[in-house]
């Protein structure tokens, strides 16, 4: 188990070395706030529901996918109980609501939001936030790469299952 831990810590240290610029870290902390408890993505879905009366049900279903992905990840965190990075080589640059790391709830809700909202908008640009969110969680020293990968997988599975059908972006 020590070998796996050393590989995990080494990966976090490498990501932190690559993404250590002040602007990058400020952006990572901003993403962290938006993704905390999936509140930013939930608010975005509720705004969509309020502004798009014709597809209000679809927006609420998409928002449910975001909340569902977050909820599943929180339950799994409490079952797996993997501690967040705490090695002295890792710089923890953000606060977290719990000590549990696996899976990343930020990655789960962000990925579900990208799937659900890109389907509603008929655009792929919401996907751009997924790798940024995943990298930010590792750069801030609060997750291992495997945590964000697992969170992303949860987001894909729930987002694809619960999100509304894709909108044809070519009329």
Quick: pLDDT tens for 79-124: 999 999 988 999 888 888 889 999 999 999 999 999 999 988 888 7
- Burial letters 50-61, b for 16+ CB under 10 A, else e: eeeeebeebbeb
Is the peptide bond between 103 and the residue preceding it cis, with omega within 30 degrees of 0? Answer: yes
Measured in residues, the chain has a length of 171
Q: Among the listed ranges 4-13, 36-45, 138-147, which one has the minimum average pLDDT value?
A: 4-13
Q: Average pLDDT, stretch 60-85?
A: 96
Question: What percent of the chain has a predicted confidence (pLDDT) above 90?
Answer: 59
Query: Exposed, middle or buried, 94 (CB in 10 Å: 0-12/13-18/19+)?
Result: middle
Domain definitions of the chain by residue range: 2-15+22-162
10 Å Cβ neighbour count for 130? 20
CATH of the domain spanning 2-15+22-162, picked from 1.20.1280.50, 1.20.140.10, 1.10.606.20, 3.10.450.50:
1.10.606.20
The pLDDT, as a whole number, for residue 170 is: 43
Q: pTM of the full predicted structure?
A: 0.88
């Amino acid at each position: 188990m020590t070998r796996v831990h050393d590989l995990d810590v080494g990966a976090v240290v490498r990501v932190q070395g690559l993404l250590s610029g002040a602007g990058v870290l400020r952006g990572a902390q901003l993403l962290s706030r938006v993704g905390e408890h999936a509140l930013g993505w939930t608010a975005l879905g509720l705004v969509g529901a309020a502004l798009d009366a014709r597809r209000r049900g679809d927006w609420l279903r998409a928002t449910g996918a975001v909340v569902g992905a977050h909820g599943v990840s929180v339950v799994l965190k409490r079952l797996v109980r993997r501690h967040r990075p705490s090695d002295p080589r890792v710089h923890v640059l953000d606060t977290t609501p719990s000590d549990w790391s696996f899976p990343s709830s930020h990655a789960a809700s962000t990925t579900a939001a990208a799937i659900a909202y890109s389907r509603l908008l008929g655009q792929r640009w919401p996907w751009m936030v997924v790798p940024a969110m995943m990298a930010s969680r590792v750069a801030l020293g609060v997750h291992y790469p495997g945590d964000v990968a697992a969170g992303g997988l949860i987001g894909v599975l729930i987002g694809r299952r619960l999100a509304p059908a894709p909108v044809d972006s070519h009329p």
